[in-house]
Amino acid sequence: QVQLVESGGGLVQSGGSLRLSCAASGSDFRINTMEWHRRAAGKERELVASITKDGLRSYADFVKGRFTISRDNAKNIMYLQMNSLKPEDTAVYYCNGEGYHVDLHDVRTVFRAWGQGTQVTVSS
């Protein structure tokens, strides 16, 4: 089974920076797409950014120019560099990975794994 663990959240002032990390662990798996989501208090969960196994990136409009998503395929780690943070960025940030397990007969079993989240708080 695949497990995802986030780290790097914390409290920063408006205009500050944080770097979030997401480490994937398990066996006999491949992750095609990794994503960062966030959920602010009283709001729906929203997609922040995504990255494919080949490094193709996509961002939500509200973070373009401020956040950068990246991944290290050899280490199975995804990052989110967050600059120019605003109070409205305050939320729990979740790591998500979509991929598949492969058995000895090349039979693939699709999965989607979620981390438990890391809190980001931006003060004014």
Give the tens place of pLDDT for each residue, 41-91. Answer: 999 999 999 999 999 999 999 999 999 999 998 999 999 999 999 999 999
Averaged confidence pLDDT in the chain = 96
Q: State the pLDDT at residue 60.
A: 97
For 74, half-sphere exposure in the C-beta direction (CA atoms, 13 angstrom radius) is 0
DSSP character for 43? S
Query: How does pLDDT run across 46-56, given as a tens digit for each residue?
Result: 999 999 999 99
Token representation of residue 115: 């981390």
Query: How high is the pLDDT of residue 40?
Result: 97
Q: Is the pLDDT of residue 1 over 90?
A: no
Per-residue pLDDT band for 7 (boundaries 50, 70, 90) equals very high
Tell me the C-alpha distance between 43 and 32, whole Å.
28
Spatial separation of the C-alpha atoms in residues 36 and 22, rounded to whole Å:
9
Residue 54 CB-half CA count within 13 A: 1
The conformation of residue 61, written as its DSSP 8-state character, comes to G
